[in-house]
Chain A
Amino acid sequence: SQQGEEDPQALSIQEGENATMNCSYKTSINNLQWYRQNSGRGLVHLILIRSNEREKHSGRLRVTLDTSKKSSSLLITASRAADTASYFCATDASRQAGTALIFGKGTTLSVSS
């Protein structure tokens, strides 16, 4: 079953604009991760945020986590055409260490030049 649900399902922006994607989940988590997938290939890990963290940055990426609302957001600033991809949030399936991930259905981002 899907734990995370991304919103919007699809997003089209121009190069240089910011892109914001949201993720909601259902149960308590240890951490939440964001991944990128280009053209149906493997997933690239972007960032992991732990349940006791509220915000995390990595380059042009900013992730926030609100455990009270069971939601997270991924902000990509100054987007580039190369950011065109599908973005997924993933949460742990249980509180057990090393557990599997449950993915949302993803947001498809299209950045045009």
Chain B
Amino acid sequence: EAGVTQSPTHLIKTRGQQVTLRCSPISGHTSVYWYQQALGLGLQFLLWYDEGEERNRGNFPPRFSGRQFPNYSSELNVNALELEDSALYLCASSVRDTQYFGPGTRLTVL
């Protein structure tokens, strides 16, 4: 069974640009979670989607947004990039309580 996949693996952007990250959950999983892992800040919850709807969001500004498609894949969009957005962005999918993580997208903002 394929695990959670994310694309791209690495991304370099400049301040003010916009970026879209993609995530495909494990087959049969309807919930997708996004987390940010920035240096020194640990893993922070960003967004949770289930059955196509946003269920909850963490303490992040509105320029972090996303959506979930009918096939349960998801996108994370970040507008007006700032230097502190440089981080590893992790996507997870779940069934019941266990969340399974993808390999992440490393975003560098210059």
Decide if B52 is an interface residue (CB 8 Å cutoff): no
Which residues of chain B are within 8 angstroms of A43 by Cβ–Cβ distance? 43, 90, 92, 101
Chain A window 32-43, contacts with chain B (Cβ cutoff 8 Å), 1 for yes, 0 for no: 010100001111
State the A residues within 8 Å of B (CB).
2, 30-31, 33, 35, 40-45, 48, 88, 90, 92-93, 97-106
Whole-angstrom CA separation of A98 from B58 in the bound complex: 15
Instruction: Pick the residue among B48, B88, B97, B104 that contacts A48 (CB under 8 A).
Output: B97
Instruction: Pick the residue among B56, B94, B103 that contacts A42 (CB under 8 A).
Output: B103
Decide if B102 is an interface residue (CB 8 Å cutoff): yes
Whole-angstrom CA separation of A99 from B92 in the bound complex: 12
Instruction: Pick the residue among A41, A88, A98 that contacts B43 (CB under 8 A).
Output: A88
Which residues of chain B are within 8 angstroms of A90 by Cβ–Cβ distance? 43, 99
Contact A30 B42 (CB under 8 A): no
